Amino acid sequence: MHRRRPHCTHDAVLETVGLTKIFGGLTAVNAVDLKVHKGEILSLIGPNGAGKTTVFNVVTGIYRPEQGRVLFKGRDITGRKPHRIVSRGIARTFQNIRLFPDMTCLENVMAGQHCRGKAGLFTSVFKTPGQRREERRILEISERRLQQVNLWRVRDELAKNIAYGSQRMLEIARALASGPDLLVLDEPSSGLNPRETEDLMAFLKALIEDDDVTILLIEHDMNVVMGISDWVVVLDGGRKIAEGRPEDIYANQEVIEAYLGKDDGEEGHGSAA
């Protein structure tokens, strides 16, 4: 089963150095250093408004940081366009699921393979042998991914018509279809019922074993964080306030205060924020 990997044994896949993002007068992310190592699951936690999603948006190129750098596999990708970053090997999902609602599930997953293709206007219009081969490959990989998340049976349904939990998995399948080295998941368990959450955890564990990926995720559900993370980073008010193994973080006084205020009492179980 899932063997806990020690942090720092491999090279860093993703590294942010002094990452700072300011909106108007508000510093949403303040000098955050982050290191995600190959083959691990790193959870980014923190109360609402801590800047977690902003970190994701900067890493995936949706926002441009005011200061700091993002290094991916040793190369500077700061301020690159989102689509370039995807082809470099970072794929993401969104907190409030963003699928292509009026397209089929299979077509949704095929989007992930887009950046691996290169058919242009003329080859597509005239359906050259090369273009056909490429389409076949896109289809094949997408179908695999769809099966991997167990959504093969709804491949021809429109994405907007499938269950919420399935939509979450579909979004992950779409991200996986680009063959990423780093998978960035924004609250993958939010809105899922306990059973679906269990399935998700099992899926992510299996993914890290079978595929050659690294996972960076934002998570509110402490069960998930404790259950699958190799390393946890805590953000509060845009700053990194703690990091460490899940069990250490769980006991960290500062973290408990960030979540619950100075008043100690309940434990940070369930959806803490």
**Stretch of 71-79, 99-107, 220-228, 262-270 contacting another protein, by CB under 8 A:** 99-107
Residue range at the interface with another protein (CB under 8 A); choices 68-76, 100-108, 208-216, 250-258: 100-108
Interface with another protein includes 115 (CB under 8 A)? yes
Using an 8 Å Cβ cutoff, are 16 and 32 in contact?
Answer: yes
**Among the listed residues 103, 108, 114, the one whose alpha carbon sits nearest the alpha carbon of residue 149:** 108
Among 138, 169, 182, 258, binds another protein (CB under 8 A): 138
Q: Which two tokens stand for residue 213?
A: 């990926």
Pairing of strands 26-37, 12-23: antiparallel
Range 219-238, binding another protein (CB under 8 A): none
Is 32 or 222 the residue whose CB approaches another protein more closely? Answer: 32
Task: Give yes or no for residue 144 binding another protein (CB under 8 A).
Answer: yes
Residue 103 in the binding site for another protein (CB under 8 A)? yes
Residue 122 CB, nearest approach to another protein (Å): 10
Binding residue count for another protein, defined by CB under 8 A:
53
What is the maximum alpha-carbon separation in the chain? Answer: 68
Q: Are strands 231-236 and 239-244 parallel, antiparallel or unpaired?
A: antiparallel
3-state class (DSSP) for residue 213: coil
Q: Least separation, in Å, of the C-beta of 168 and another protein?
A: 14
Cα(44)–Cα(34) distance, rounded to whole angstroms? 10
Alpha-carbon torsion, ordered 29, 197, 172, 100, to 10 deg: -90
String marking each residue 60-89 x if it binds another protein according to CB under 8 A: x-x------------------xxx--xx--
C-beta of 230: minimal distance to another protein in Å?
A: 25
Does position 135 bind another protein by CB under 8 A? yes
Cβ atoms of 64 and 29 closer than 8 Å: no
Q: Is 27 exposed, middle or buried (0-12, 13-18, 19+ CB in 10 A)?
A: middle
Query: Between vectors from CA 267 to CA 262 and to CA 271, what angle results, nearest 5°?
Result: 100
The CB-of-193 to another protein minimum distance in angstroms stands at 22
Interacting residues toward another protein by CB under 8 A:
23, 53, 57, 60, 62, 81-83, 86-87, 91-92, 94, 98-104, 106-107, 110-112, 114-115, 117, 119-121, 124-127, 131-132, 134-136, 138-140, 143-144, 147, 152-153, 156, 158, 174-175, 178
